[in-house]
């Protein structure tokens, strides 16, 4: 019997109960790449994202005696030392705030490939802070939870919100204002997303390592920082106007600019494989045929095709047929991280 199961059957009153939270990954339409403070995990640029619906991280957490160590299991494996360190950092914050000395046993599961450029860290940390808030009874605002999720992973700050969200670069040294805020609800512009899986394996260079390498070695890093706000403003205007073409134009530009920046690091960071490039051409071919679709790609080989409402079926069929694509995942826009009723979730064995 694992730690969580053992604790889940122990009744300790409200704070000792098993809590469950779920969060969805988000994908950036205007990309975040680069940190202004590595230790505090503060972004060097703002970003704009959409939160997905069908891909989900489910996190179960129970409080345990202070003498027990914080425990963390991810997709059935023990967390790495650095993942455990981040859990402890976050749990310590909630312990200080609530005056509790109880530790936590956490299990977290994704229904999609972990660490392959599908933002599993985003949904993971968004679900984790939501579960911690519920377990310790701290009732923090979404904005505050967003700042805490950011300590785990920069993109996680955005998964606190559904639909369209904006991440703010912030000014303060402690990162209090480096938070995400909502831009537009998921129902207000129900875009569809098709993810073309070009590799199932974990990415070779983590985003943190890649960002620091880029900051230290790319001759274009300063221009990247200086041009980001324009892209954010264009994207926000396009979202407000529901202008698909304008949004697609600036999103592909931001994506290719980020990958151009990565390529200009020394040594260059190449996250794509042959299927990624074939998918880019396929998306552009569809667009010349009049299909409303654009692409974006993160720190991994998967291409995410963003489709106007009603065009997902066609785009999924076309991308499934691209050489090197093993399968496609479908999503609409989803809600922000939230705690869910444990009774409606299966208890892990």
Min dist CB 295 to ligand PMV, Å, is 14
Min dist CB 154 to ligand PMV, Å, is 3
Judged by CB under 6 A, the residue of 73, 192, 231, 298 near ligand PMV is 298
Interface with ligand PMV, residue 123, by CB under 6 A: no
Min dist CB 135 to ligand PMV, Å, is 24
Min dist CB 299 to ligand PMV, Å, is 4
Min dist CB 349 to ligand PMV, Å, is 30
As a whole number of angstroms, the distance between CA 85 and CA 232 comes to: 33
Listed residue (191, 186, 198) closest to 297, CA to CA: 198
Among 54-62, 149-157, 220-228, 336-344, which window interacts with ligand PMV (CB under 6 A)?
Answer: 149-157
Interface with ligand PMV, residue 146, by CB under 6 A: no
As a whole number of angstroms, the distance between CA 126 and CA 139 comes to: 15
Total residues interacting with ligand PMV, rule: CB under 6 A: 14
Min dist CB 267 to ligand PMV, Å, is 18
Judged by CB under 6 A, the residue of 28, 196, 283, 305 near ligand PMV is 28
Min dist CB 283 to ligand PMV, Å, is 18
Residue whose beta carbon is closest to ligand PMV: 28
Q: Is the dihedral of CA 313, 335, 231, 28 positive or negative?
A: negative
Indicate the residue among 118 and 293 with the shorter CB distance to ligand PMV. Answer: 118
Judged by CB under 6 A, the residue of 3, 7, 8, 47 near ligand PMV is 47
Indicate the residue among 31 and 234 with the shorter CB distance to ligand PMV. Answer: 31
Min dist CB 83 to ligand PMV, Å, is 13
Indicate the residue among 8 and 121 with the shorter CB distance to ligand PMV. Answer: 121
Question: x/- string (CB under 6 A) for ligand PMV, residues 68-107?
Answer: ----------------------------------------
Interface with ligand PMV, residue 42, by CB under 6 A: no
Interface with ligand PMV, residue 306, by CB under 6 A: no
For 103, half-sphere exposure in the C-beta direction (CA atoms, 13 angstrom radius) is 14
As a whole number of angstroms, the distance between CA 144 and CA 123 comes to: 16
Binding site for ligand PMV (CB under 6 A): 28, 31-33, 47, 121-122, 153-155, 207-208, 298-299
């Amino acid at each position: 019997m694992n730690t969580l199961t053992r604790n889940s059957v122990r009744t300790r009153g409200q704070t000792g109960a098993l809590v469950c939270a779920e969060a969805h990954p988000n994908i950036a339409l205007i990309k975040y790449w680069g940190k202004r403070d590595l230790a505090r995990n503060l972004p060097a640029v703002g970003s704009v994202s959409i939160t997905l619906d069908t891909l989900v991280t489910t996190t179960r957490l129970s409080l345990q005696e202070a003498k027990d160590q914080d425990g963390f299991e991810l997709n059935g494996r023990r967390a790495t030392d650095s993942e455990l360190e981040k859990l402890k950092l976050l749990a310590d914050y909630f312990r200080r705030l609530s005056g509790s000395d109880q530790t936590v046993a956490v299990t977290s599961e994704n229904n999609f490939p972990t660490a392959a450029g599908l933002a599993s860290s985003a949904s993971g940390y968004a679900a984790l802070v939501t579960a911690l808030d519920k377990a310790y009874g701290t009732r923090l605002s979404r904005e505050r939870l967003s700042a805490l999720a950011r300590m785990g992973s920069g993109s996680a700050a955005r998964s606190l919100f559904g639909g369209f969200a904006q991440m703010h670069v912030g000014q303060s040294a402690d990162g209090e204002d480096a938070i995400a805020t909502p831009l537009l609800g998921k129902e207000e512009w129900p875009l569809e997303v098709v993810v073309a899986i070009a590799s199932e394996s974990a990415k070779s260079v983590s985003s943190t390592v890649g960002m620091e390498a880029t900051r230290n070695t790319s001759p274009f890093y300063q221009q990247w920082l200086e041009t980001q706000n324009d892209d954010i403003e264009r994207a926000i205007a396009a979202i407000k106007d529901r202008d698909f073409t304008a949004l697609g134009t600036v999103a592909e530009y931001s994506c290719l600019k980020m990958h151009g920046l990565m390529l200009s690091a020394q040594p260059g960071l190449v996250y794509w494989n042959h299927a990624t490039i074939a998918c880019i051409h396929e998306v552009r071919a569809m667009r010349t045929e009049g299909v409303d679709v654009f692409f974006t790609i993160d720190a991994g080989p998967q291409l995410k095709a963003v489709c106007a409402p009603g065009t997902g079926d066609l785009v999924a069929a076309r991308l499934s047929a691209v050489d090197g694509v093993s399968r496609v995942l479908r999503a609409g826009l989803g809600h922000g991280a939230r705690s869910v009723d444990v009774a409606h979730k299966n208890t892990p064995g």
